[in-house]
Chains A and B, each alone.
Chain A
């Protein structure tokens, strides 16, 4: 999950830079990059918050 979140964030960042330099900063493309980044950041935080619970659950089992 951590690697997936990192990958999504990196893709989102590259998309944004591409939209700025190659697509004249059109807001539609920038917002699409923002959507990708938001998904990545949510994934990152879900992983961060829930990883301990997952670990403790596994130990109990």
Chain B
């Protein structure tokens, strides 16, 4: 029987419909009340230290838990007070708590560069003394050596960050809003993934009614699983780390490395089993074909392509026996995969353009045929803003941002900055907004744009690598405006809430991160994930930042035209052949994503996908399982987050106590 051809847009929208449990509403109310604001601040700030701590211990911040904890507390209080919580309030609570709990991690670059500037890698690549002072104070400054963010040495980096944050808020709010009006109001694009985000708030809003629903039960199951897992994976090493010099790890964080065990039959292959079983929940949610094809492609790479072809033909030539996963990956990347990966990224850009450009043509033709256009007039009471005001805000935000970058790197050609700001950013954002509106994801992205720019500009100083560039994308953010619309939350209340909470979070985030840095050096045995990953990240960063120096750096030597072409053309051929044989386009993203990847990092995700597909769907039915998924994931994140919060509290208390010898 001939297979029916399904377009990429139809394929992704069909998948999105699985999560679309109910339609949106079109009456709007404010979600911002005093109790929402205080509740978000209370839970967010309570969980923020745990979130920062977790990110250094396990690599996952668990920040997803906090909004749900806030919503659960809020709905329970509402029930016990014989009142109800509106979905607008709950959605607002989710957003504000998420912002509050994530506010500490916004400064994480300060800690990273304070570490990086004193690494042997930065010294040996001769960039330690060239890192600009608007990024981090000097390596021998008091602020860095005493691990204190609240020190005058840090005033310049923090000041620059705060100005950037203010200008960024102006740009992103206005840019996203204008594009939302264009794509959702005028072009009437469906935004298929928006209902999934809207569902969380609407799910829990109904628990404030008189009867308990399945959601509370599913959330509790997820929370208990998260508590148990969080205790074993994060709690035990963190608590023993407080008492002992070497923490006890029941499961090694972040992986168990089998690379040396397979080198006998698969030289240059890697297999490091990632021990974070929280990844299973991603497997539940991600499209099954993507996870399976990704794993198969990764296995084929590490057991066939790397050892039997690339190693045999001496393309992977730096490998030697006895290396662990980090060493093998570094040499493989320098030998081939840096270039091969670049080629793959370019293929994503071409496929994205091929999918999105015809959509523009289709829109025009459809409009001509129907003889009508979507109205630009907003629905009543949605809390819209004047377009001219938003345009002015964007111009001020972008103009100020360009001026700031020019001040940071005065010798970098201004024409590049202006081109990015006023030409590339609007076009790129509009294309992304359209692909989000139709497919619910980003398709168009030009890879290695910064690197290409630096080469074209012939600017050789290191400082440009540390400066931001005004190549932005507001298209992704348009979806959040659509979610506001679906939950019936007025735009004005959302903006007011965001602006009110921001100053509090800017101050509290830096204070909390300061105290966490004071607990122990980052990285150190207290923070196993950082200890494992940061040295290799420092090497990678050095390789990139020196890649254009002298025209003969290790990174430039690693970039080879024939290997880039192989990655690029091979990926296009895979996509083309999948299309010819009418196979799902999701396979492309799985296969090309998996090529070159470590299969050990995908095992837990695959486990989740298989359990979901072959047990859960059969047990609960497709519709119910996709209803359960987001709530279960939220419960699990909540459980892990609570453990993180508990352990960081104990760690902070123990470090605050000075034990006297008498």
Contact call B350/A38, Cβ cutoff below 8 A = yes
Given known contacts A45-B358, A48-B7, A48-B358, A30 and B580 CB-to-CB distance under 8 angstroms: no
- Contacts of B362 on A, CB cut-off 8 Å? 49-50, 53
Say if the beta carbon of B351 comes within 8 Å of chain A: yes
Given known contacts A38-B354, A45-B358, A50-B361, A13 and B577 CB-to-CB distance under 8 angstroms: yes
Expressed in whole angstroms, the minimum distance between the Cβ of B165 and any Cβ of chain A is 39
A60 to B371: give the CA distance in the assembly, Å: 14
- Contacts of B576 on A, CB cut-off 8 Å? 9-10, 12-13, 37, 40-41, 44
Partner of B357, one of A2, A34, A42, A60: A42
Given known contacts A37-B576, A50-B365, A53-B366, A27 and B351 CB-to-CB distance under 8 angstroms: no
A55 to B580: give the CA distance in the assembly, Å: 22
Closest to B358 in A: A49
Say if the beta carbon of B369 comes within 8 Å of chain A: yes
Chain A 1-18 interface mask (CB, 8 Å, partner B; 1/0): 010011001101100110
A1 to B566: give the CA distance in the assembly, Å: 28
**Interface of chain A, main secondary structure:** helix
Closest to A53 in B: B365
- Contacts of A57 on B, CB cut-off 8 Å? 369
Expressed in whole angstroms, the minimum distance between the Cβ of A18 and any Cβ of chain B is 11
Partner of A41, one of B354, B366, B369: B354
A25 to B568: give the CA distance in the assembly, Å: 13
Expressed in whole angstroms, the minimum distance between the Cβ of B618 and any Cβ of chain A is 33
Q: Which segment of B147-155, B234-242, B327-335, B557-565 sits at the interface?
A: B557-565
Expressed in whole angstroms, the minimum distance between the Cβ of B643 and any Cβ of chain A is 47
A40 to B86: give the CA distance in the assembly, Å: 51
A40 to B359: give the CA distance in the assembly, Å: 17
- Contacts of B573 on A, CB cut-off 8 Å? 9, 12-13, 16-17, 33, 37
A13 to B359: give the CA distance in the assembly, Å: 26
- Contacts of A60 on B, CB cut-off 8 Å? 369
Contact call A25/B562, Cβ cutoff below 8 A = yes
Say if the beta carbon of B572 comes within 8 Å of chain A: yes
Number of A-B contacts (CB under 8 A): 94
Expressed in whole angstroms, the minimum distance between the Cβ of A48 and any Cβ of chain B is 4
Partner of A42, one of B354, B565, B568: B354
Would you list which residues of chain B between 102 and 145 have a CB under 8 Å from chain A? none
Say if the beta carbon of B190 comes within 8 Å of chain A: no
Expressed in whole angstroms, the minimum distance between the Cβ of A51 and any Cβ of chain B is 9
Say if the beta carbon of B251 comes within 8 Å of chain A: no
Expressed in whole angstroms, the minimum distance between the Cβ of B577 and any Cβ of chain A is 6
- Contacts of A50 on B, CB cut-off 8 Å? 358, 361-362, 365
Partner of B7, one of A6, A20, A27, A49: A49
- Contacts of B369 on A, CB cut-off 8 Å? 53, 56-57, 60
A60 to B11: give the CA distance in the assembly, Å: 27
Contact call B579/A41, Cβ cutoff below 8 A = yes
Given known contacts A34-B572, A45-B355, A27 and B562 CB-to-CB distance under 8 angstroms: yes
Say if the beta carbon of B312 comes within 8 Å of chain A: no
Contact call B569/A37, Cβ cutoff below 8 A = yes
**Interface of chain B, main secondary structure:** helix
Say if the beta carbon of B584 comes within 8 Å of chain A: no
A18 to B468: give the CA distance in the assembly, Å: 43
- Contacts of B568 on A, CB cut-off 8 Å? 30-31, 34
Expressed in whole angstroms, the minimum distance between the Cβ of B537 and any Cβ of chain A is 30
Contact call A25/B566, Cβ cutoff below 8 A = yes
Say if the beta carbon of B8 comes within 8 Å of chain A: yes
A30 to B579: give the CA distance in the assembly, Å: 20
Closest to A51 in B: B7
Contact call A41/B350, Cβ cutoff below 8 A = yes
Contact call A30/B569, Cβ cutoff below 8 A = yes
- Contacts of A20 on B, CB cut-off 8 Å? 566
Chain B 340-378 interface mask (CB, 8 Å, partner A; 1/0): 000000000011001101110110011001000000000
Closest to B560 in A: A27
- Contacts of A42 on B, CB cut-off 8 Å? 354, 357-358
Contact call B572/A38, Cβ cutoff below 8 A = yes
Expressed in whole angstroms, the minimum distance between the Cβ of B181 and any Cβ of chain A is 24
Contact call A30/B562, Cβ cutoff below 8 A = yes
Partner of A27, one of B358, B365, B561, B580: B561
Say if the beta carbon of B497 comes within 8 Å of chain A: no
Say if the beta carbon of B209 comes within 8 Å of chain A: no
Expressed in whole angstroms, the minimum distance between the Cβ of B365 and any Cβ of chain A is 5
Expressed in whole angstroms, the minimum distance between the Cβ of B312 and any Cβ of chain A is 15
Contact call A41/B566, Cβ cutoff below 8 A = no
Contact call A41/B565, Cβ cutoff below 8 A = no
Chain B 434-458 interface mask (CB, 8 Å, partner A; 1/0): 0000000000000000000000000
Would you list which residues of chain B between 571 and 586 have a CB under 8 Å from chain A? 572-573, 575-577, 579-580
Say if the beta carbon of B26 comes within 8 Å of chain A: no
A47 to B86: give the CA distance in the assembly, Å: 46
Say if the beta carbon of B5 comes within 8 Å of chain A: yes
Contact call A26/B366, Cβ cutoff below 8 A = no
Closest to B351 in A: A41
Expressed in whole angstroms, the minimum distance between the Cβ of B319 and any Cβ of chain A is 20
Contact call B565/A30, Cβ cutoff below 8 A = yes
- Contacts of A53 on B, CB cut-off 8 Å? 362, 365-366, 369
Expressed in whole angstroms, the minimum distance between the Cβ of A22 and any Cβ of chain B is 14
A17 to B579: give the CA distance in the assembly, Å: 18
- Contacts of B361 on A, CB cut-off 8 Å? 46, 49-50
The residues of A with any CB-CB pair to B shorter than 8 Å are 2, 5-6, 9-10, 12-13, 16-17, 20, 25-27, 30-31, 33-34, 37-38, 40-42, 44-46, 48-50, 53, 56-57, 60
Q: A34-B572, A42-B357, A57-B369 are in contact. List 6 more A-B contacts (CB 8 A).
A: A10-B576, A17-B573, A41-B350, A44-B576, A46-B361, A49-B7
The residues of B with any CB-CB pair to A shorter than 8 Å are 5, 7-9, 350-351, 354-355, 357-359, 361-362, 365-366, 369, 561-562, 564-566, 568-570, 572-573, 575-577, 579-580
Q: What are 17 residue pairs bridging A and B, where the CB atoms are less than 8 Å apart in the complex?
A: A12-B573, A13-B576, A25-B566, A27-B561, A27-B562, A27-B564, A30-B565, A30-B569, A31-B565, A34-B572, A37-B569, A41-B350, A41-B576, A48-B5, A49-B361, A50-B362, A60-B369
| 3 interchain residue pairs of minimum CB distance | A9-B576, A30-B565, A49-B358
